[in-house]
Copies of this chain bind each other. A is one copy, B any other.
């Protein structure tokens, strides 16, 4: 549908969506107030966390910011029809591999009504159909935003291009339709993501766990180590790219650098738990499991004999999201970056950099720990697929089989 529209037409639609969002501030904020009243009542009854309630809140300033976000997506480089490669197969026969829309994307998110304009703008930019399912705590807000955005699409684009799914039963029935839906993007708790991954054959773009490690090597610079470890753990502990496990080389335990690191973490309010070795040597309370995402000011610490043991630990207990080494040894860094099989592997940088905006991808569709299609922070390129286009002059394969013509396979770009 949107695929038939030119880039300029899709950009114009995005600007109309941005304007419509601000113009509909009245009904959107009224719907939001109603959702919020219910949410606060639920919070008072102890049925909803303050954090979840906080994420629901919209105001005029936030709507303006969301509209600016849509305009930023409009200003991005055209994602469709990008020529990824061009090959002359033989004189007069040219093959191009181009980007094309993925198809229909089902986005399932919790709370955060601000996800609607973000994901809708990315879908329109990349020519995809979209099905949205928000949490029931934000139902009225999501519907009001959706109404404003889809009205802005008409008449060129039928409102049905962005579908709103309002019941849990509808989601279950959609998840079996691998023929209708090409990609599912869950944005929410680990439990939500895992439940979707386990209940569909449709590809899922996302990550259930973010069990990120920082390994502080024997050859680490103590200042860099402290700065990175504190940033990775305390900058935003609930983020999926926050450090959950700190691995320290045993030499650091012997010379007191480990204790200094732990003191810095404790000074920042971080509760520390130890693996078997760290519990024994550093007097820490033993951690229940190495595969645990605290999502809070807490971390597991373990002692390792060197970079190889650190790599092994990460492969055994990590979630292949983001893992970092702090070292001044080029060889240890090379070994770590070459061997740790995670979506993001960092040297002397905080795990918190694993983020679409920080990576310069423009809008972020999500962070994927899948090994297929898109991995790590994913921008709009995660919403496109490719197509081969071949332009000939009446060419047939027979002359190539018979030997009267030969392939040149000349790379043109």
Q: Which residues of A are at the interface with B, using a C-beta cutoff of 8 A?
A: 3-4, 87, 89, 93, 95, 97, 100, 102-103, 182-183, 197-198, 200-201, 203, 221, 223-224, 227-228, 230-232, 235, 326, 333, 337-339, 341-350, 352-354, 358-360, 371-373, 375-377, 385-398, 400-401, 407, 409
Determine whether the beta carbon of A339 is less than 8 Å from that of B227.
no
Residue of B nearest to A359 (CB): B95
A-B pairs, top 8 by smallest CB distance, nearest first, are A349-B392, A224-B394, A360-B409, A231-B396, A352-B397, A346-B390, A371-B385, A348-B392
- A339 to B127 alpha-carbon distance, docked (Å): 12
- A360 to B87 alpha-carbon distance, docked (Å): 8
Determine whether the beta carbon of B89 is less than 8 Å from that of A372.
no
Residues of B within 8 A of A385 (CB): 371-372, 375
| With contact pairs A386-B375, A386-B376 given, residues A396 and B339 touching in the complex (Cβ less than 8 Å) | no
Residues of B within 8 A of A224 (CB): 393-394
Residues of B within 8 A of A349 (CB): 93, 390-392, 394-396
A348 CB contact (under 8 Å) in B100, B354, B395: B395
What is the minimal beta-carbon distance from A333 to any residue of chain B, in angstroms? 8
Residue of B nearest to A385 (CB): B371
- A182 to B395 alpha-carbon distance, docked (Å): 38
A342 CB contact (under 8 Å) in B343, B346, B376, B387: B387
Determine whether the beta carbon of B337 is less than 8 Å from that of A223.
no
Determine whether the beta carbon of B235 is less than 8 Å from that of A401.
yes
What is the minimal beta-carbon distance from A292 to any residue of chain B, in angstroms? 18
Ordered by A's residue number, 6 sampled pairs between the chains whose C-beta atoms are within 8 Å are A102-B371, A102-B372, A235-B398, A345-B389, A346-B389, A359-B388
Residues of B within 8 A of A400 (CB): 358
Determine whether the beta carbon of A348 is less than 8 Å from that of B387.
no
Determine whether the beta carbon of B387 is less than 8 Å from that of A375.
yes
What is the minimal beta-carbon distance from A311 to any residue of chain B, in angstroms? 10
Determine whether the beta carbon of B339 is less than 8 Å from that of A3.
yes
Interface centre among A100, A228, A230 (most CB of B within 10 A): A100
Determine whether the beta carbon of A390 is less than 8 Å from that of B344.
yes
- A371 to B409 alpha-carbon distance, docked (Å): 25
Determine whether the beta carbon of A353 is less than 8 Å from that of B87.
no
Residues of B within 8 A of A347 (CB): 389-392
A341 CB contact (under 8 Å) in B3, B93, B375: B3
Determine whether the beta carbon of A360 is less than 8 Å from that of B391.
no
Residues of B within 8 A of A182 (CB): 371-372
Residues of B within 8 A of A230 (CB): 396
| With contact pairs A89-B353, A95-B359, A360-B409 given, residues A376 and B372 touching in the complex (Cβ less than 8 Å) | no
Interface centre among A343, A354, A396 (most CB of B within 10 A): A396
